[in-house]
Structure 1
Amino acid sequence: MAGRLSTISEGSTDLDDFTAAYPPCDFYRGSIRRVAVSGGLIRSTLFSQYGYGSTVSSYSSQSGASSYPSNNSGYSGLAHAATGARALCDLELREIARRMIRDRYTQRIVQEFEDAPSDALGRWFSELDVDWVLQIREGCGLRELEAGRSESSFQDFVERWIRALAIIVLSMRELHLMTIGEPTSAATARFGKASILAMLVFVDAIVIPAAPKGHGPGDRLWALLNMYVCISDASSFKWSGSRRPIPLETQSIIDEINGSLSAEENKLNGAIFSTMEEIKTFMEEEDSWAAEIPRGGGEVHRNTQFIVDCVVLIRSAVLNYHFENLRALLHDTTDYLKDLLWRKSKLCSDQSLRYLFLLNNSCFITQQLESTKLIAWVQNHWELPPESKKYIDCYFEVSWAHVLSCISESNLGPLRRWNNGSSLARFLSAFDRIYKLQKFWKVPSPELRRMMRKTITERVIAGYREYLEEHPELEKRIIFGNTTPDELEEMLGELFEG
């Protein structure tokens, strides 16, 4: 047939031709599945908790604490989203695409597509491990698709789609360069267009607001960003590379492909922004704040962990892939989280716990958003974030200031007549009460924990020492009561261990 790609290479035997044209079923699929690439952004485990992502929960709302492994900052929680290899740059996927062409498998599929488009596309997609994409095109929704493929998770579908799209683009470009100026050039372009347009149907299944049951905005944000990275790469992919002129028909088809990819890229960009708005709405309406701040002892709230995880994903796209259009979303989300924490902290009736909550959460945000290269420096030269310096002063005022006032007031003007022994008793009683109340409150960050202990010690214990120096007659009472400044300072060293 004129215009078809030859399936027979010069000097080959009939057996060679048969093997090249008809490789065993799933000959390439196993290799494709083993490629560990997810479009560039590795999925964090945080989206799997509390309805933000899948239904598997690693958070126990009964205990008010998370079960995440500890990281270097001392906080339990975030399994950092990180950058990985972009799918179109992945060496394993490139090699698979080239092997398909060397084996002449891709040429055979392109040839079959000219006679039987549906059959060829079905065989091609099955080998690429995305035959289910064609079911979506035929009207099967993602929810029905998952129900029929219980062995595949939402994340699995997205990763398989990314690998397949990468191989389609890579192999079509390779084949396009081989056939420029030949009659088969347009056939390759037509097949590439049909493959890519069929793949893009999955984008619509992801961007729609009504996500499949069990998949919240966290799962969708992860999918959107990963697919955005992949389609952005594909839309900017250079089909040229040869000095030979591209036939007008072929160029027209390539322009249509690029136009479709750009449209989907814009669609994904809009969906990323709308998903973050959906997350904000959910956070405003989520009713666990008032109950769980006290229950969790002021620790890092799971909502904080979740939004930070979103920020890390977005930041990875901005910094590593230079998506400047997402930079404003990154800053807006970070500012929103800080404002959200301030507003939600007002729901806590215990003001000491409120400011401990603000300290833990604000420091968590700062430390988790530090560049990995700065972590060691941060640990050695750690300072409180600007807003936390205010929070620690507020915490001291509502927790320990009145303890210190028990002895400082005895030296003020008309209050001199107060019995010094009574002032000391009130001081020790107030100290003991606050100490017992807060001893098991937890500050996960070692740096913040040391800072808070130091602040309390420098203000309370220093004031206590001055008081005793001014009232030496109380020295015996202090010694026999096991309440010397050194002993109280040692007690403060046990605070906030949880």
Structure 2
Amino acid sequence: MAERLASVPEESTTVFPAPHPPSSSYRESIRSVDGPEWRIRSSLFPQSSYSGSSYSSSYSGGSNISGCSFGMVSAGVSGFGDGEITKIAHKMVSDGYLQQMVQAFGDQDSDTVLEAWFSELDVPWVLQSRESHGSQFQLQPQELVERWIRSLTLIVVSIEELVAAGDASPAVARFGRASISVMLDFGHTLNLSMPENLQAMLHMYVCVSAASYHMVLVEKSCYMMVLPFLSEARSVVRDTGGLLKRGENKLVQAISDIISKAKVMAFGMVDDSWDIEIVRGRGEVHRSVRMLVDCIVSMREAQASSKESAQSHNIEKLHNLIDDAMDYLKNMIEEKSELCLDPSLRYIFLLNNYNFLAQVVYEPSISLDLELLSAVHHQGLELTPECKKQMDSYLEVSWGQVLSCISASKISGPLRRWISNSSLAKFHSAFHKTYKAQKFWKVPDPRLRSLLREAITKRVISAYRDYLKEHPADLEKQVSAVSSDPDVLEEMVGELFEGR
């Protein structure tokens, strides 16, 4: 902006060479833009699931929060408007097309001019109202948002190009204000209020946030220039930036509303489908947990993308939304875990869910990089304090009673052998009963599953081996049976938590 402003002569004459766009339509150039400037890339797990070999690749029904399979807008804030979009805007100005549209907007029917303008921007549908055209558009939300982002970027850059070309008249301000207002109004009235469209709304937020911040930088560059039209330029840029900030605020509120709906969809259903699935389940991560986690991860991505550009209070609002959603999710996981009638299954349920949160929410570098995730599956898993607490509770409740059967006895003499035999029989009975009950419980994360098996082996099988060493003569007959061999019991532990 500063370089372009520096090249502007002290006097500028606006030219309106043609009533229509050149024969080579700008629309075709706009449609051909396919780069990091505006393209939405997929960075979340496909189909709203945590993939790789750790967790199930899809929900078992229910809403698909990542229905659009969006990621975050890859355009960095510092690069807003760079590349092909800027070239197109610059050509519109050099051809005189933008100046012609500004003049026509003031001299002719403004709605007709805007229709022609948005048609050239490849978004003619932004002028449609729900009342007259209904709530359905021919395009899917992904395509709508992609075109919307591309066009809003071009409008903002076009205003900057006009100012840089020496045209900072009130007419430019009015034309820019009308164009951006229509775009923002359309964004706010889109039927994107459901959780499955959260990422689409976040894309729009990141774009508007970047545009708003870009105009702040442009305004600062205006202050650095000593030009005849400096005050007019600052006025146009400030007016544009203020409009974008207000749009950003509204989008944050829309995101907040979506999160509220997501909470209701995840845990506030009036039926008892969640309760039934928990009771019948095997301790797995429920699809409702996955749905809300998708929302949280998407907001984290948006927060990271707009960290440098968003107003501080909007960044804080996103941060608070994330924290509130996490607190709500944890509370609901604890509450729903009470539905597990078996205390051991309850702790497996809690362990699975808290481990899922730890990987997907607290380790974004892992959850959003599936190749890295696959690579670390063979490495050790460091449990969070919350996960360790749940594992310790599970081991105590589930296997503590098995170990208690072979606790050391202080009785000596003939009675000791009878007690030892009885204790061993109780141990075998308790072990096989626990094994049978838990064999098909599910621990999806292979690292957690391996760690859990190792903990059981270390606590139970090692104690059993030590017990046998302390009673070699008395228990020789007992351990001769294959089902009593420590190696066999260890192999049985290795079969736990695979699910069906």
Determine which of 3, 6, 19 is the counterpart of 2:15.
6
Answer yes or no: is the 8 Å Cα contact 1:203–1:264 preserved in 2.
no
In structure 2, what is the Cα distance between the partners aligned to 1:197 and 1:256?
12
Answer yes or no: is the 8 Å Cα contact 2:26–2:88 preserved in 1.
no
Equivalence for 1:12: none
Q: Partner amino acid for 1:459? A: R
TM-score by length of 1: 0.79
In structure 1, what is the Cα distance between the partners aligned to 2:111 and 2:304?
41
Structure 1 residue 450: Cα displacement = 1.5
Q: Decide whether aligned partners of structure 1 residues 153 and 293 sit closer, same or farther in structure 2, where only a CA change above 3 A counts.
A: same
Mapping for residues 267-282 of structure 1, pairs under 5 Å: 267-282=250-265
In structure 2, what is the Cα distance between the partners aligned to 1:412 and 1:106?
96
Structure 1 residue 233: Cα displacement = 1.9
Mapping for residues 66-465 of structure 1, pairs under 5 Å: 68=49, 70-71=51-52, 73=54, 76=57, 81-82=71-72, 84-86=74-76, 88-89=80-81, 91-116=83-108, 117-136=110-129, 139-140=131-132, 144-146=134-136, 148-149=137-138, 152-180=139-167, 185-206=169-190, 211=191, 216-219=194-197, 221-236=198-213, 237=215, 238-240=217-219, 241=221, 243=225, 244-246=227-229, 251-286=234-269, 287-322=272-307, 323=310, 324-325=315-316, 326-369=318-361, 370-372=363-365, 380-408=379-407, 411=409, 419-465=419-465
Answer yes or no: is the 8 Å Cα contact 2:43–2:71 preserved in 1.
yes
In structure 2, what is the Cα distance between the partners aligned to 1:72 and 1:102?
55
Equivalence for 2:62: none
In structure 2, what is the Cα distance between the partners aligned to 1:227 and 1:449?
40
In structure 1, what is the Cα distance between the partners aligned to 2:100 and 2:24?
10
In structure 2, what is the Cα distance between the partners aligned to 1:273 and 1:359?
29
> How many residues matched?
451
Structure 1 residue 296: Cα displacement = 4.2
Q: Decide whether aligned partners of structure 1 residues 280 and 245 sit closer, same or farther in structure 2, where only a CA change above 3 A counts.
A: farther
Q: Deviations over 1:363-391 (max 9, x none)?
A: 11111121417967796453111111111
5+ unaligned residues in a row in structure 1: which ranges? 9-16, 50-67
Q: Decide whether aligned partners of structure 1 residues 134 and 258 sit closer, same or farther in structure 2, where only a CA change above 3 A counts.
A: same
In structure 2, what is the Cα distance between the partners aligned to 1:452 and 1:312?
27
Q: Decide whether aligned partners of structure 1 residues 31 and 4 sit closer, same or farther in structure 2, where only a CA change above 3 A counts.
A: farther
In structure 1, what is the Cα distance between the partners aligned to 2:348 and 2:72?
29
In structure 2, what is the Cα distance between the partners aligned to 1:246 and 1:416?
103
Q: CA RMSD in A?
A: 3.4
Answer yes or no: is the 8 Å Cα contact 2:122–2:151 preserved in 1.
yes
Select between 426-435 and 20-29 the one with higher mean Cα deviation.
20-29
In structure 2, what is the Cα distance between the partners aligned to 1:180 and 1:26?
23
Structure 1 residue 81: Cα displacement = 4.6
Answer yes or no: is the 8 Å Cα contact 1:28–1:127 preserved in 2.
no
The alignment-based identity, stated in percent, is 42
Select between 411-420 and 117-126 the one with higher mean Cα deviation.
411-420
Q: Partner amino acid for 1:93? A: I
Answer yes or no: is the 8 Å Cα contact 2:73–2:207 preserved in 1.
no
Name the SS for the 1:28 alignment partner: helix
Q: Partner amino acid for 2:401? A: H
5+ unaligned residues in a row in structure 2: which ranges? 1-11, 59-65, 367-371
In structure 2, what is the Cα distance between the partners aligned to 1:255 and 1:172?
11
Answer yes or no: is the 8 Å Cα contact 1:403–1:430 preserved in 2.
yes
Q: Partner amino acid for 2:465? A: R
